[in-house]
């Protein structure tokens, strides 16, 4: 049995059995289908003839209101079209994702066996065409695929410094999660 103890949840991957597919497609930030603890906030963009401006975060406000300034880390990742980075989870860390360029197919799965949404998967398409910020709590597996013809950039905040002992990885094609990374609307 693959079991990982956490401060907030017990993750038991072997007992998870998701049907094949992408789970619940999230098209609104206030969707009732969101995994427990996941939160979404639209990001305001201010475009003009020079490009655009977006405000990533104001510490102490909105989705990162509870992130401690002393341990919050800000990182970025550039990924090329078709890249899949999944699945990844944290035992204690909360992530706040802000796509700043390109488009991402974001996949989430609730791995917390005590959660009312345990085993639920969410999919959302975010980035240039849907500028959302996503808060991902501990115990929720997360990953993405870059969709479209352009590279994509993700800026993300974590409420604590990187600690390899806090994270777990699950293959993108895990037979318990059965996430379908193929194009859905062919």
Percentage of residues of the chain with pLDDT beyond 70: 92
Q: Which two tokens stand for residue 103?
A: 């488009």
The encoded tokens of residue 77 equal: 């990742």
- Look up residue 113 and give its two tokens: 């066996």
Topology annotation, domain 3-169: Jelly Rolls (2.60.120)
Q: What is the pLDDT of residues 82-140, one digit of tens each?
A: 999 999 999 999 999 999 999 999 999 999 988 999 999 999 999 999 999 999 999 99
pLDDT band at 48 (very low <50, low <70, confident <90, very high): very high
Does pTM top 0.85 for this prediction? yes
**Burial (CB count within 10 angstroms: exposed 0-12, middle 13-18, buried 19+), residue 26:** buried
| Domain assignments of the chain as residue spans, ordered by start | 3-169
Determine contact, residues 143/169, Cβ cutoff 8 Å.
Answer: no
């Amino acid at each position: 049995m693959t079991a990982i103890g956490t401060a907030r949840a017990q993750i038991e991957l072997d007992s998870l059995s998701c049907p094949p597919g992408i789970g619940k497609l999230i098209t609104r930030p206030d969707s009732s289908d969101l995994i427990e603890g996941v939160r979404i906030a639209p990001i305001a963009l201010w475009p003009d003839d020079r490009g655009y401006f977006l405000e990533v975060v104001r510490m102490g406000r909105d989705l990162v209101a509870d992130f401690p300034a002393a341990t919050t880390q800000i990182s970025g990742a550039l990924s090329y079209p078709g890249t899949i980075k999944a699945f990844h989870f944290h035992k204690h860390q909360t992530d706040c994702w802000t796509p700043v360029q390109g488009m991402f197919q974001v996949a989430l799965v609730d791995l917390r066996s005590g959660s009312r949404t345990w085993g639920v998967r969410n999919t959302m398409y975010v980035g240039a065409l849907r500028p959302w910020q996503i808060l991902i709590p501990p115990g929720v597996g997360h990953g993405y695929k870059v969709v479209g013809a352009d590279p994509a950039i993700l800026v993300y905040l974590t409420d604590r410094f990187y600690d390899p002992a806090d994270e777990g990885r699950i293959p993108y094609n895990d037979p318990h999660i059965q996430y379908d990374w193929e194009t859905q609307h062919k």
